[in-house]
Amino acid sequence: MIKLKNVTKTYKRGADDEVVALKDVSLEVGKGEFVFVVGPSGSGKSTFMKLLTREQLPDAGEIYVAGKDLTSLRSWKIPALRREIGYVFQDFKLLPNKSVSENVAFALEVIGKGRREIQRRVPEVLELVGLEDKTGAMPHELSGGQQQRVSIARAFVNNPRILLCDEPTGNLDPSTSVGIMKLLDRINRTGATVVMATHDQHIVDSMRRRVIELENGVVVRDQSRGVYGYAG
Amino acid sequence: MSARWRYIIQESAKGLRRNPLMTVAVILSITVSLTLLGATLLLRDQIDLATDDWVEQVEVSIFLCDGTTCPPITDEQQETLRRDLEDQPVVEEVIYESKEEAYERFSELFKDQPNMLEIVEPDILPASFRVSLVDPDEFLIIRDQFEAYPGVEDIVDQREILTQFLNFTRIVRNGALAIAVIQLAAAALLIGNTILMSAFARREQTAIMKLVGASNWYIRLPFLMEAVITGLLGALVSWGLLYGVVPRVTEGLSQEVLLMPFIGVTEVIAAGPPLLLAGFGIAAISSIVALWFFQDS
């Protein structure tokens, strides 16, 4: 589902100053896998996620996502790639002037889905995330955990094959985070590949899923059924 | 499809309402530039119309002596003059205008100015040969050949008067065109800036649209529509201004200046489509460029 081959990405800071975000990274994530990407700030997690959505291009190497070669993907085909990927942010990024169901419906409207499909699909996915009784609420009326559920509903409403989550529990307290992880696990069981960048040691340790650890742009560990650090 | 279009129209309306003063400023700026542009188009029409009519009528007037400044022309001299004129290959037609006919034409021209008629006595105006040329540029040949003929008082190229008028009109037109172009550039910058502000105000929404895979034209179309609507509104207002003002002015002028035809409502109506196209074009181009910058930043 996701494949990186010798991917290198550097950022220029001024004329001579270069920051290596990813250095010769090769890895593969299969269909239906659940993967944690861990590592300290600046280890290259964000760059990794941005490369997968084709927000950025690598300086060297090859990237394949959902069967598409991202390095040779024409820019007008990027929207089609992103319809295969759901994206969950740390800060939810809900539209404050739209209700819960409008926020979710928005993701379908702007890719041109018909009204009938939207009316069928939005309640379905809101039930999946457990917000069927909050459909008319505005984002500011919801707790952080509820807002993140809306954000996940929006990411998943189009049935993407891949769900990318960038620190989805970063703004939530531990007990709320557990609920979010259960939800992501349930989505993973429907067949979606889930890639989650995180700092949250407890979550990684309790889930016992594949862990890819980055440090200074290099994969220092790739372990199935792993924990956050070597010490456990 | 209809849900998509509803979204696009709603979003453009939102953009227009977000900052009504800015919207009005943009529309006014487009109105001013397109009114000037329209004026230059109409001046060109006016020049074309006047030139056609004048050039067709262009004549060389050969005034004949009547005894006031030179000895009066004899019938024989007049006959020789006419024959030689008709034999001259560059001459198309020769018409004799007697003193009475000259006065008649004069009274017709100045019928609204009685004091002019009082000053000019019927026998003051000289008789003349009005000569039309195959090629109006051959005036010098006529002057050189016939200047020295006995009984010829003066030879006047009527086209010279026309040339002066046309030169004046061209200066006015070019000046208006230059101002129109500068104004148009200012309007384009204003539109670009407004669209940038509009895009910036909605950057979160746009970012989400991009990530869920909305196509680029779908993201940009509301902004484009917003600009195009202001562009077309500006064009409509300028068209309306020209429609209200120009026919009145030319009607007034045509009562003052009898020698020349003037443009009217028809030409002003015909100027509409180019104005709308210009309004559409300037709005579309400047907003596309602005969005291109926005996406790059």
Based on the fold, state whether residues A20 and A78 are members of the same structural domain: yes
Q: A80 contacts in B (CB within 8 Å)? A: 213
Based on the fold, state whether residues A65 and A180 are members of the same structural domain: yes
Based on the fold, state whether residues A22 and A48 are members of the same structural domain: yes
- The verdict on residue A2 lying in a domain is yes
Nearest to B20 by CA among B185, B226, B203: B226
Kindly give the confidence (pLDDT) of every residue in chain B, 297 residues in length, as a single tens digit, with 9 standing for 90 and above: 566 777 778 888 887 887 788 889 889 989 998 998 888 888 888 877 776 665 556 578 888 887 777 777 788 888 888 888 888 787 878 888 888 887 887 777 666 666 666 777 777 778 888 887 777 677 777 778 877 777 788 887 777 767 777 788 788 888 888 888 888 898 889 888 888 888 888 888 888 888 888 888 888 888 888 889 999 999 999 999 999 888 888 888 777 766 667 787 888 888 889 999 999 999 999 998 888 887 754
Based on the fold, state whether residues A138 and A71 are members of the same structural domain: no
* Three-state secondary structure call for residue A177: helix
Based on the fold, state whether residues A18 and A51 are members of the same structural domain: yes
d(CA A67, CA A73): 11
Q: Hey, is the C-beta of A83 within 8 angstroms of any chain B C-beta? A: yes
Tokens of A210: 């594949």
Based on the fold, state whether residues A109 and A152 are members of the same structural domain: yes
Residue A52 sits in a domain whose CATH number is 3.40.50.300
Size of interface A-B (CB pairs under 8 A): 55
Based on the fold, state whether residues A80 and A101 are members of the same structural domain: no
Whether residues B213 and A79 touch (CB distance < 8 A) is answered with yes
Q: Look at residues A112, A136, A159 and tell me which one is the last residue of a structural domain.
A: A159
Q: Which residue of A has its CA nearest to B6?
A: A109
Going by C-beta distance under 8 Å and a sequence separation of 6 or more, which residues neighbour residue B235?
A: B30, B31, B34, B275, B276, B278, B279, B280
Distance from CA of A54 to the nearest CA of B (A): 10
Asked if residues B97 and B59 have their Cβ atoms less than 8 Å apart, the reply is no
Q: A85 contacts in B (CB within 8 Å)? A: 213
Asked if residues A95 and A106 have their Cβ atoms less than 8 Å apart, the reply is yes
Nearest to B180 by CA among B278, B40, B47: B40
The single residue listed with the structure tokens 């070019």 is B174
Based on the fold, state whether residues A154 and A168 are members of the same structural domain: no
Considering only CB atoms, B208 lies closest to which of A79, A80, A93, namely A93
Window 183-202 of A: residues touching B by CB (8 A cutoff) are none
The runs of H, that is alpha helices, within A18-170 are 45-52, 78-82, 100-109, 115-128, 144-156
Parallel/antiparallel/unpaired status of strands A34-38 and A193-197: parallel
- The verdict on residue A52 lying in a domain is yes
Residues with pLDDT less than 70, chain A: 230-232
Q: Hey, is the C-beta of A87 within 8 angstroms of any chain B C-beta? A: yes
Q: In which element (H, E) is residue A224 found?
A: none
d(CA B211, CA A83): 8
Based on the fold, state whether residues A80 and A2 are members of the same structural domain: yes
- The verdict on residue A201 lying in a domain is yes
d(CA B69, CA A74): 88
Based on the fold, state whether residues A23 and A123 are members of the same structural domain: no
Q: What is the pLDDT of residue B209?
A: 87
- The verdict on residue A71 lying in a domain is yes
Q: State phi, psi for A195 to the nearest 5 degrees.
A: -120, 120
d(CA A25, CA A33): 19
d(CA B196, CA B290): 6
- The verdict on residue A89 lying in a domain is no
ipTM of the complex: 0.82
Based on the fold, state whether residues A80 and A1 are members of the same structural domain: yes
Based on the fold, state whether residues A164 and A78 are members of the same structural domain: yes
Residues of chain B with CATH 3.30.70.3040: 58-157
What would the 3-class secondary structure string for A92-104 be?
Answer: CCCCCCCCHHHHH
Q: Residue A67 is part of which domain span?
A: 1-84+160-232
Interface test with B, best of A68, A109, A113 (most B CBs within 10 A): A109
Q: B213 contacts in A (CB within 8 Å)? A: 78-85, 111, 158
Q: Is A92 left (phi over 0), alpha (psi -120 to 50) or beta?
A: left
Class of domain B58-157 as given by CATH:
alpha beta
Nearest to B15 by CA among B286, B294, B280, B226: B226
Asked if residues B151 and B64 have their Cβ atoms less than 8 Å apart, the reply is yes
Q: What is the pLDDT of residue B176?
A: 83
Number of compact structural domains in chain A = 2
